Amino acid sequence: MNSGVNAQSANPCVLFLWEQGNALEWKLFMEDLVGNIDFRVFPDVGDRAEVDYIMTWMPPLGEIEKYPNAKAIFSIGAGVSHILRDPHVPRDIPIVRLTDDALSLDMSLYALHWTLHFHRGFDQYLRQKQSKDWKRHPYPANEDRKVGVLGLGEIGGKVVEMLRGVHFDVGGWSRSKKNIEGVSCFVGEEGLAQLLRRSEILISVLPPTPETANLLNETRLRLMPKGAFLINMGRGEAVVDGDLVKLLDEEHLRGAVLDVFREEPLPATSPYWGHPSVVVTPHAAAPTNVKYGAKRIAENIIKMEAGCPPHPVYNASLGY
């Protein structure tokens, strides 16, 4: 196996800190990509002072602060909230997010899949099967269906591109103003209200920050047209769960697909499990692909070994 990243002469010590991950598969890719790497798998860490880099998903609380010479923490995923839930994680070294085209493509396909599901009324056919009801439902042409995307970054940018590619009428919302051909772009509170008012299908790909927490509350969700749908694949904190359930029960919203939750795994007591209008997927919109994920992390290690900064780095002042 040789995946095309140039090997270096250094012998960086990399800790794999993901108890549920397939360490052997990651090790094979990382060794191939970085060359003479000292790859260690938690809890078999040896001397913690020797560790240069930590790659992790859902690290045990209190573990990351024990590596005095770590130069960077690599998330084995796009988000870093699983790392930052530990208040003792060092903030003086880069926390590096994982972005790659394969992940963005999988996220876009997830968004497209569920957009089509709602657009074409497949949710109704699933219900009708129970009563053996043979009844077709009309649906508008794609260009007459308004879809809104919250978050136009690495992933949201690809989501709107894919939706535009099949001619949906796409709008998007971000912190900084975007100019994307064929997409109505909004910013700010008033821009959000405008986007919500036009979104028959709303897709959230927002990161969790103090500003995005509880964004989708009753007042804002009510701005969406009656019978609208929500797809949340960003983070669960953006949605006020009780408000969403209320609007679904009132049938102001017709359905929701939720991939991310405030608490994961989703507790058995959550009303989402039994709700007829909710589809739950277990944070499965785009699991990190080892081949591509290892390549991105390896490239960043090689860059850092050569004295260059890694990319993309979590920005603490923005919160994402």
Minimum distance from residue 97 beta carbon to ligand OXD (Å): 8
CA–CA distance, 232 with 239 (Å, rounded to integer) = 8
- The residue (of 79 and 255) whose beta carbon lies closer to ligand OXD is 79
Structure tokens at 316: 């603490």
Can you tell me which of 54, 202, 285, 302 binds ligand NDP, judged by CB under 6 A?
285
CA–CA distance, 203 with 232 (Å, rounded to integer) = 6
* Catalytic residue set: 235, 283
Would you count residue 283 as binding ligand NDP (CB under 6 A)?
Answer: yes
Would you count residue 155 as binding ligand NDP (CB under 6 A)?
Answer: yes
Minimum distance from residue 13 beta carbon to ligand NDP (Å): 28
Would you count residue 94 as binding ligand NDP (CB under 6 A)?
Answer: no
Q: What single letter denotes the amino acid at residue 202? A: L
Structure tokens at 112: 């497209």
- The residue (of 107 and 298) whose beta carbon lies closer to ligand NDP is 107
Minimum distance from residue 184 beta carbon to ligand OXD (Å): 27
CA–CA distance, 197 with 178 (Å, rounded to integer) = 19
Would you count residue 236 as binding ligand NDP (CB under 6 A)?
Answer: no
Q: What single letter denotes the amino acid at residue 307? A: G
Helix (H, G, I), strand (E, B) or coil at 169: strand
- The residue (of 143 and 264) whose beta carbon lies closer to ligand OXD is 264
Would you count residue 234 as binding ligand NDP (CB under 6 A)?
Answer: yes
Within 10 Å of residue 60's Cβ, how many Cβ atoms? Answer: 12
User: Residue 33 — φ and ψ, nearest 5°?
Assistant: -80, -40
Taking CB under 6 A as the criterion, which residues in 9-68 touch ligand NDP? none
CA–CA distance, 307 with 302 (Å, rounded to integer) = 9
CA–CA distance, 201 with 298 (Å, rounded to integer) = 38
- The residue (of 70 and 80) whose beta carbon lies closer to ligand OXD is 80
Structure tokens at 283: 């944070």
CA–CA distance, 67 with 46 (Å, rounded to integer) = 11
Would you count residue 235 as binding ligand NDP (CB under 6 A)?
Answer: yes
CA–CA distance, 305 with 303 (Å, rounded to integer) = 5
CA–CA distance, 83 with 215 (Å, rounded to integer) = 22
Q: Which does 288 bind (CB under 5 to 8 A by kind): ligand NDP, ligand OXD, none?
A: ligand OXD
Q: What is the DSSP letter of 18?
A: -
Q: Which residues bind ligand OXD (CB under 6 A)?
A: 77-79, 288
- The residue (of 252 and 291) whose beta carbon lies closer to ligand OXD is 291
Structure tokens at 11: 């012998």
Can you tell me which of 124, 209, 214, 217 binds ligand NDP, judged by CB under 6 A?
209
Minimum distance from residue 213 beta carbon to ligand NDP (Å): 10
- The residue (of 77 and 255) whose beta carbon lies closer to ligand OXD is 77
Can you tell me which of 48, 71, 82, 175 binds ligand NDP, judged by CB under 6 A?
175
Which residues are near ligand NDP by CB under 6 A? 78-79, 99, 103, 107, 151-156, 173-176, 205-207, 209, 211-212, 233-235, 259-260, 283, 285-286, 320
